[in-house]
Structure 1
């Protein structure tokens, strides 16, 4: 049991170290804002920051009411078809929504801050759907 806990702590520390190094390279300016992503075991969070003014322009997560409603509808639809609506699919919805909100705010170019997470799975799905929505990385 002790070994498992140590492994989990080391894994979290490695992610935080990667995030720290990435944050010193990725800075959101007026021309190119920062699109930051965080994922937990259940949810995924996404925000657009202007680091020069220390402001968050917009944010979306799987806890946002409009996204929650969409997820519930998609889960029902998938259940009827005999499929599953995965967390990766939820990340795609979040990516589409953040791109939509960014367009409303007049943001077209962003730099992607993956938060120390590997560019794979849910992070990649969110980034790809944000690109499809019109954001340029």
Structure 2
């Protein structure tokens, strides 16, 4: 699971590194939270990604925070993904 955050949103993807394919993705934009990536929205993004991953048959992933510190939005996204059923 790879994470990207900007001033206006947060994005997460499940990527198959060997094939270079995106398996599942979720973002704050698709949840209707344009220009507002707070902790509660980040948690919902994590839950949505986990829901899509579990539906695709994935339960264990590697968490790549892309150099961002593990606090705030990144931590909330990870907690949401764990609540949704992902293990990392």
Task: Tell me the TM-score normalised to structure 1 length.
Answer: 0.60
Partner of 1:135: 86
Structure ranking higher on relative contact order (CA contacts 8 Å, 6+ apart): 2
- Alpha-carbon contact 2:9-2:37 (below 8 Å) kept: no
Mapped partners of 1:103, 1:57: distance in 2: 11
**Runs (5+) with no aligned partner, structure 2:** none
Q: How many residues align?
A: 87
Question: Is 1:56 the equivalent of 2:22?
Answer: yes
CA drift of 1:88 comes to 0.6
Asked if 1 retains the 8 angstrom alpha-carbon contact of 2:11 and 2:28, the reply is yes
Kindly state the Cα deviation for residue 55 of structure 1 after the two structures are TM-superposed.
Answer: 0.4
Larger Rg: 1
Indicate yes or no: 2:52 matched with 1:101. Answer: yes
- Give the Cα separation in 2 of the matches to 1:39 and 1:86: 8
Counting only pairs closer than 5 Å after superposition, residues 55-134 of structure 1 correspond to structure 2 as 55-64=21-30, 67-68=31-32, 71=33, 87-134=38-85
Instruction: Tell whether the 8 Å contact from 2:10 to 2:37 is kept in structure 1 after alignment.
Output: no
TM-aligned CA deviation for residue 86 of structure 1: 6.7
Q: Separation in 1 of the partners of 2:37 and 2:29?
A: 15
Query: What secondary structure does 2:63 align onto?
Result: strand
- Which stretches in structure 1 are left out of the alignment for 5+ residues? 1-34, 73-84
Residue in 2 aligned with 1:31? none
Which consecutive segments of 4 or more residues in structure 1 shift more than 3 A? none
